[in-house]
A and B are shown apart, each in its own frame.
Chain A
Amino acid sequence: EPEVTQTPSHQVTQMGQEVILRCVPISNHLYFYWYRQILGQKVEFLVSFYNNEISEKSEIFDDQFSVERPDGSNFTLKIRSTKLEDSAMYFCASRPGQGGETQYFGPGTRLLVL
Protein backbone atom coordinates (compact mmCIF):
# COMPACT_ATOMS: atom_id res chain seq x y z
CA GLU A 1 0.00 0.00 0.00
CA PRO A 2 1.39 3.44 -0.91
CA GLU A 3 2.67 5.49 2.02
CA VAL A 4 3.84 8.98 2.75
CA THR A 5 7.52 8.92 3.67
CA GLN A 6 9.55 11.48 5.56
CA THR A 7 13.25 12.03 6.08
CA PRO A 8 15.04 12.29 8.36
CA SER A 9 13.20 10.54 11.17
CA HIS A 10 15.11 12.57 13.74
CA GLN A 11 17.07 15.80 13.44
CA VAL A 12 19.04 17.69 16.05
CA THR A 13 20.14 21.22 15.23
CA GLN A 14 21.52 24.29 16.90
CA MET A 15 19.37 27.35 17.41
CA GLY A 16 19.67 29.70 14.46
CA GLN A 17 20.49 26.97 11.96
CA GLU A 18 18.43 26.21 8.89
CA VAL A 19 16.74 22.82 8.55
CA ILE A 20 14.96 21.19 5.66
CA LEU A 21 12.46 18.45 6.33
CA ARG A 22 11.64 16.22 3.41
CA CYS A 23 8.51 14.36 2.45
CA VAL A 24 7.50 12.14 -0.42
CA PRO A 25 3.71 12.20 -0.68
CA ILE A 26 1.70 9.39 -2.21
CA SER A 27 2.29 9.59 -5.94
CA ASN A 28 -1.14 10.43 -7.34
CA HIS A 29 -2.09 12.82 -4.54
CA LEU A 30 -2.68 16.49 -5.29
CA TYR A 31 -2.88 18.21 -1.89
CA PHE A 32 0.02 18.36 0.54
CA TYR A 33 0.21 19.49 4.12
CA TRP A 34 2.58 20.09 6.98
CA TYR A 35 1.48 19.80 10.58
CA ARG A 36 3.46 19.95 13.78
CA GLN A 37 3.00 18.45 17.22
CA ILE A 38 4.87 19.87 20.18
CA LEU A 39 5.60 17.11 22.66
CA GLY A 40 2.48 16.15 24.59
CA GLN A 41 0.24 18.53 22.68
CA LYS A 42 -2.21 18.29 19.83
CA VAL A 43 -1.45 18.22 16.14
CA GLU A 44 -1.49 21.72 14.64
CA PHE A 45 -1.92 22.72 11.00
CA LEU A 46 0.93 24.67 9.45
CA VAL A 47 0.35 24.90 5.72
CA SER A 48 -1.43 23.34 2.77
CA PHE A 49 -0.10 23.26 -0.79
CA TYR A 50 -1.86 22.66 -4.07
CA ASN A 51 -0.99 23.28 -7.69
CA ASN A 52 2.48 24.51 -6.74
CA GLU A 53 1.34 27.17 -4.37
CA ILE A 54 0.29 27.62 -0.78
CA SER A 55 -3.47 27.24 -0.36
CA GLU A 56 -3.69 28.14 3.28
CA LYS A 57 -1.33 28.74 6.17
CA SER A 58 -1.75 29.12 9.89
CA GLU A 59 -0.48 31.92 12.09
CA ILE A 60 2.33 29.60 13.13
CA PHE A 61 3.64 29.55 9.57
CA ASP A 62 5.53 32.84 9.67
CA ASP A 63 8.34 34.17 7.49
CA GLN A 64 10.87 31.72 8.86
CA PHE A 65 8.96 28.84 7.25
CA SER A 66 8.74 28.00 3.59
CA VAL A 67 7.56 25.05 1.54
CA GLU A 68 8.57 23.83 -1.85
CA ARG A 69 7.84 21.06 -4.28
CA PRO A 70 11.15 21.06 -6.14
CA ASP A 71 10.32 18.11 -8.37
CA GLY A 72 7.45 15.77 -9.03
CA SER A 73 7.89 13.77 -5.90
CA ASN A 74 9.37 15.71 -2.98
CA PHE A 75 7.66 18.22 -0.73
CA THR A 76 9.90 20.11 1.66
CA LEU A 77 9.51 22.31 4.71
CA LYS A 78 12.34 24.73 5.41
CA ILE A 79 12.84 26.50 8.69
CA ARG A 80 15.30 29.31 8.06
CA SER A 81 16.53 30.15 11.54
CA THR A 82 15.41 27.62 14.08
CA LYS A 83 14.28 28.57 17.56
CA LEU A 84 14.03 26.45 20.66
CA GLU A 85 10.25 26.48 20.36
CA ASP A 86 10.44 24.88 16.92
CA SER A 87 11.28 21.61 18.64
CA ALA A 88 8.41 19.32 17.71
CA MET A 89 7.32 16.40 15.60
CA TYR A 90 6.61 17.53 12.05
CA PHE A 91 4.13 15.52 10.02
CA CYS A 92 3.67 15.64 6.29
CA ALA A 93 0.33 14.55 4.87
CA SER A 94 -1.21 14.19 1.43
CA ARG A 95 -4.65 13.51 0.02
CA PRO A 96 -5.87 12.56 -3.43
CA GLY A 97 -8.03 15.58 -4.24
CA GLN A 98 -11.66 16.10 -5.08
CA GLY A 99 -13.64 13.26 -3.57
CA GLY A 100 -10.64 11.97 -1.71
CA GLU A 101 -10.88 13.70 1.60
CA THR A 102 -8.73 11.54 3.83
CA GLN A 103 -5.29 12.88 4.66
CA TYR A 104 -2.63 10.25 4.97
CA PHE A 105 0.17 11.10 7.32
CA GLY A 106 3.83 10.26 7.15
CA PRO A 107 5.70 8.87 10.15
CA GLY A 108 6.99 12.29 11.17
CA THR A 109 10.33 13.98 11.69
CA ARG A 110 11.25 14.68 15.28
CA LEU A 111 13.13 17.98 15.37
CA LEU A 112 15.12 19.00 18.41
CA VAL A 113 16.57 22.51 18.54
CA LEU A 114 19.32 23.03 21.10
Chain B
Amino acid sequence: AQKVTQAQTEISVVEKEDVTLDCVYETRDTTYYLFWYKQPPSGELVFLIRRNSFDEQNEISGRYSWNFQKSTSSFNFTITASQVVDSAVYFCALKGNTNAGKSTFGDGTTLTVKP
Protein backbone atom coordinates (compact mmCIF):
# COMPACT_ATOMS: atom_id res chain seq x y z
CA ALA B 1 0.00 0.00 0.00
CA GLN B 2 1.13 3.53 -0.68
CA LYS B 3 0.84 6.40 1.73
CA VAL B 4 1.74 10.08 1.59
CA THR B 5 1.84 12.20 4.73
CA GLN B 6 1.86 15.97 4.73
CA ALA B 7 2.00 16.73 8.42
CA GLN B 8 1.52 20.48 8.03
CA THR B 9 -2.15 21.22 7.52
CA GLU B 10 -1.76 24.98 7.30
CA ILE B 11 1.21 27.31 7.12
CA SER B 12 1.07 31.08 7.25
CA VAL B 13 4.05 33.26 6.39
CA VAL B 14 4.72 36.87 5.58
CA GLU B 15 5.79 37.78 2.08
CA LYS B 16 9.49 37.27 1.35
CA GLU B 17 9.89 34.60 4.01
CA ASP B 18 11.16 31.20 2.98
CA VAL B 19 8.85 28.28 3.64
CA THR B 20 9.29 24.50 3.48
CA LEU B 21 6.46 22.08 2.93
CA ASP B 22 7.11 18.58 4.21
CA CYS B 23 6.18 15.32 2.51
CA VAL B 24 6.89 11.82 3.77
CA TYR B 25 5.89 8.76 1.80
CA GLU B 26 5.61 5.00 2.14
CA THR B 27 5.78 2.46 -0.66
CA ARG B 28 6.95 -1.07 -1.26
CA ASP B 29 7.82 -0.36 -4.87
CA THR B 30 11.52 -0.10 -5.66
CA THR B 31 10.77 2.25 -8.53
CA TYR B 32 8.31 5.04 -7.92
CA TYR B 33 7.60 8.65 -8.76
CA LEU B 34 6.95 11.64 -6.57
CA PHE B 35 5.08 14.78 -7.53
CA TRP B 36 4.11 18.14 -6.20
CA TYR B 37 0.95 19.87 -7.39
CA LYS B 38 -0.35 23.34 -6.62
CA GLN B 39 -4.07 23.96 -6.24
CA PRO B 40 -4.89 27.68 -6.30
CA PRO B 41 -8.27 28.98 -5.11
CA SER B 42 -9.65 28.49 -8.63
CA GLY B 43 -9.41 24.73 -8.02
CA GLU B 44 -7.28 23.31 -10.82
CA LEU B 45 -4.28 21.08 -10.12
CA VAL B 46 -1.08 22.55 -11.47
CA PHE B 47 1.82 20.16 -11.94
CA LEU B 48 5.05 21.50 -10.41
CA ILE B 49 7.60 18.71 -10.45
CA ARG B 50 8.18 14.99 -10.83
CA ARG B 51 11.05 13.15 -9.22
CA ASN B 52 11.97 9.55 -10.05
CA SER B 53 13.04 7.29 -7.21
CA PHE B 54 16.29 6.44 -8.96
CA ASP B 55 17.28 10.08 -9.29
CA GLU B 56 18.09 11.71 -5.98
CA GLN B 57 19.43 14.89 -7.46
CA ASN B 58 17.75 17.89 -5.94
CA GLU B 59 16.19 20.45 -8.20
CA ILE B 60 15.79 24.18 -8.26
CA SER B 61 13.39 26.09 -10.46
CA GLY B 62 13.42 29.79 -9.80
CA ARG B 63 12.17 30.33 -6.26
CA TYR B 64 11.15 26.68 -5.93
CA SER B 65 13.43 23.88 -4.80
CA TRP B 66 12.88 20.27 -3.90
CA ASN B 67 14.87 18.06 -1.55
CA PHE B 68 14.48 14.34 -2.15
CA GLN B 69 15.92 12.15 0.60
CA LYS B 70 15.37 8.49 -0.13
CA SER B 71 16.92 7.45 3.18
CA THR B 72 14.19 9.25 5.11
CA SER B 73 11.44 8.78 2.48
CA SER B 74 10.95 12.50 2.23
CA PHE B 75 10.37 14.89 -0.64
CA ASN B 76 10.23 18.40 0.76
CA PHE B 77 9.39 21.54 -1.16
CA THR B 78 10.87 24.95 -0.37
CA ILE B 79 9.65 28.28 -1.64
CA THR B 80 12.23 31.03 -1.30
CA ALA B 81 11.15 34.62 -0.88
CA SER B 82 7.47 33.72 -0.87
CA GLN B 83 4.93 35.89 -2.65
CA VAL B 84 1.21 36.39 -2.15
CA VAL B 85 0.58 34.52 -5.42
CA ASP B 86 2.10 31.42 -3.83
CA SER B 87 -0.96 31.15 -1.58
CA ALA B 88 -2.59 27.83 -2.46
CA VAL B 89 -3.01 24.26 -1.34
CA TYR B 90 0.01 22.14 -2.18
CA PHE B 91 -0.27 18.41 -2.66
CA CYS B 92 2.48 15.84 -2.62
CA ALA B 93 1.68 12.65 -4.56
CA LEU B 94 3.24 9.24 -5.09
CA LYS B 95 2.87 6.96 -8.08
CA GLY B 96 4.07 3.38 -8.03
CA ASN B 97 5.44 1.39 -10.89
CA THR B 98 2.34 -0.53 -11.86
CA ASN B 99 0.88 -0.18 -15.32
CA ALA B 100 -2.26 1.40 -13.98
CA GLY B 101 -0.10 3.98 -12.31
CA LYS B 102 -2.54 5.63 -9.98
CA SER B 103 -1.31 8.46 -7.80
CA THR B 104 -1.81 8.60 -4.05
CA PHE B 105 -2.11 12.11 -2.71
CA GLY B 106 -1.31 13.56 0.67
CA ASP B 107 -3.89 15.60 2.54
CA GLY B 108 -2.39 18.82 1.27
CA THR B 109 -0.84 21.85 2.97
CA THR B 110 -2.63 25.17 2.79
CA LEU B 111 -0.08 27.93 2.41
CA THR B 112 -1.11 31.50 3.09
CA VAL B 113 1.35 34.23 2.24
CA LYS B 114 0.43 37.57 3.78
CA PRO B 115 1.59 40.86 2.34
Chain A residues within CB distance 8 Å of chain B: 31, 33, 35, 41-45, 48, 50, 55-56, 58, 89, 91, 95, 101-108, 110
Taking a contact as CB atoms under 8 Å apart, the answer to whether B50 and A102 are in contact is: yes
Partner of B99, one of A45, A50, A106: A50
B47 near A48 with CB under 8 A, answer: no
Kindly name the residue among A103, A104, A110 whose own CB sees the greatest number of chain B CB atoms within 10 A.
Answer: A103
Q: In the complex where A55-B99, A55-B100 touch, is A101 in contact with B105 (Cβ < 8 A)?
A: no
User: How close is B84's CB to chain A, nearest CB, in angstroms?
Assistant: 22
Give Cα A104–Cα B101 distance, bound, in whole angstroms.
13
- B residues in contact with A91, CB < 8 Å: 45
> Smallest CB–CB gap between B115 and chain A, Å?
25
The 4 A-B pairs with the shortest beta carbon distances in the complex, nearest first, are A55-B100, A56-B100, A105-B45, A48-B100
Contacts A42-B105, A42-B107, A55-B100 known; A108 to B95 CB distance under 8 Å?
no
Please measure, in the bound complex, the distance between the C-alpha atom of A106 and the C-alpha atom of B44, giving whole angstroms. Answer: 7
Query: With a CB–CB cut-off of 8 A, which chain B residues contact A104?
Result: 47
Judging by beta carbons under 8 Å apart, are B47 and A105 in contact? yes
B93 to chain A, nearest CB (A): 8
Inter-chain contacts of A48 with B (CB < 8 A):
100-102
Q: Which residues of B contact A43 (CB under 8 A)?
A: 45, 91, 93, 103, 105
